[in-house]
A and B are shown apart, each in its own frame.
Chain A
Amino acid sequence: MPEPLIDPEAPQPMGIVERLTRDDSERKRFLKMVGGAGAASFGAFVLAACGSSSSSSKTTATTAATAPAKTGTASASGDLAIANYALTLEWLETTFYERVVSAGLFKGAVGSLIADFARQEASHVQALQALIKQFGGKPVSRPKATFPIDSATQVAKLAYTVENLGAAAYLGQAANIQSPTVLAAALSIHSVEARHAATLGTLVYPGAGQVNTAITPDGAFGKPADMATVLAAVKPFLA
């Protein structure tokens, strides 16, 4: 059985003093992102600098939304690659929840939450497939996957890990998305993955004493994960 993607047993600073200290480092991380002038940000700067000089580049959001089939540009292919990457993750989540639901490990209120999440992940798959087709791309097919499904506790922990990873994956791509339509869609899914993660967190880490671990394991600012990190983390589940 593969190790969990993130160690759910990892110690979390819980004290108020520790948390304030950590908040300060989180604040710095945020500022680094905001003020960062890394190589990746120069593209955006250059584009902005040139924004008003070339009429051929005046692609408005409306144009992007109504004529998304315009392919061959770096932006369209980049967004399609990101959308297919997201679709791969949504397929994995969908397969995972399908097996959890059919294993019948959860009853009552928790069982109905899990069933909701299963339907919602499947709706993400359908929405991304439609979006990819609409933008002239070809949606990836469902990958073969295998997940350890042993007990309710183990599955809840794995689900918590998978959902946190999903949220981090969307967050890691948000700023790379160029079409506002694709971005808006990704954002509307991203926050739902975060809601799933927090909900599962309250099941796995119940009680007032571990609120941070359960709900906001990254603290005040969600931590993004890049594609390589995410793909390495899900590799053990790809059959």
Chain B
Amino acid sequence: MSTENLVHPELAGVEVHGMSRASFIMRGALAAGAVYGVGAVSPFVGSALAQTSTGDVDILNYALTLEYLETDFYQVKGASLKLSGLARAYAKDFGAEEAAHVAAIAEAIKDLGGTPVAMPKFSFPVTDQASFLKLASTVENLGVSAYNGAAPMISSKEVLGAAGTIVQVEARHAAAINLLIGLSPTPTQGFDVPKSKSQVLAAATPLIA
């Protein structure tokens, strides 16, 4: 998209490249179900899933890896440190929410006929509350960028909607952690900047043992 007329060049940064979503959604046939009725369209459902589920499963497995990382970070690493006050409360609550994301995504992958990836071993270079919170901020903000970057590539409306319910919570976590350590809750101002899968994995790889 042309950025010339954009008041906010930040939006140019959220441009998406080569995504498959539009190829089938831009067809303006969303009313087909209503026109033909549920019975008429159900024969298409199986083949539709066959065509789209691989991409969505891959994206969900990518999300699952990040959720494993967050869960392990809060629940295992967090528990191994002597956290106190809000740091302790956040680790406990956010950890439980990340674990709920893991369970939900794994289930969704199975529903689509895929196989959830196994949890990698993680290694977090934190030794105390301050370093723990600093990495928590990095990880949560990375999670927001990852979901925002991957979501436009999701084919299924249901998977997209579900990913949205998760990224909202990651953004809430990110803001709270940032505030706690004196960073801006909105580090990129009015627009969260998405990251590609390769950018995210490059940032996460040092944490994978």
- Residues of chain A whose beta carbon lies under 8 Å from any beta carbon of chain B: 16, 19-20, 23, 26-27, 30-31, 33-37, 39-52, 54, 57-66, 68, 73-75, 78, 113, 116-117, 119-121, 123-124, 126-127, 129-131, 133-134, 167, 171, 174-176, 178-181, 183-185, 187-192, 194-199, 201-202, 207-209, 211-212, 214-216, 218-224
Query: Are B165 and A195 interface neighbours, CB within 8 A?
Result: no
Query: Are A222 and B8 interface neighbours, CB within 8 A?
Result: no
With known contacts A119-B190, A130-B7, A30–B45 Cβ distance under 8 A: no
Query: Are B93 and A212 interface neighbours, CB within 8 A?
Result: yes
Contacts of A208 in B (CB 8 A): 85-86, 88-89
- Residues of chain B whose beta carbon lies under 8 Å from any beta carbon of chain A: 1-2, 5-8, 10-11, 14-34, 36, 38, 41, 44-45, 47-49, 51-52, 85-86, 88-90, 92-93, 96-101, 103-104, 107-108, 111, 144, 147-148, 151-152, 155-162, 164-176, 179, 184-186, 189-194
CA distance A113 to B34 in the complex (A): 47
Query: Are B29 and A43 interface neighbours, CB within 8 A?
Result: yes
Can you list 15 A-B pairs, Cβ within 8 angstroms, ordered by A?
A31-B111, A35-B158, A49-B47, A50-B44, A61-B16, A73-B26, A116-B184, A116-B186, A123-B189, A174-B164, A176-B157, A179-B26, A194-B167, A221-B169, A222-B172
Residue of B20, B93, B158 most packed against chain A (CB within 10 A):
B158
13 additional A-B pairs beyond A46-B33, A57-B26, beta carbons within 8 Å, are A39-B33, A40-B33, A44-B25, A45-B49, A52-B51, A73-B26, A167-B168, A171-B165, A184-B16, A187-B164, A188-B11, A198-B172, A209-B89
Q: In angstroms, how far is the closest chain B Cβ from the Cβ of A139?
A: 12
Query: Are A51 and B168 interface neighbours, CB within 8 A?
Result: no
CB closest chain-A residue, reference B186: A195
Query: Are A134 and B17 interface neighbours, CB within 8 A?
Result: no
Contacts of B194 in A (CB 8 A): 184, 187-188
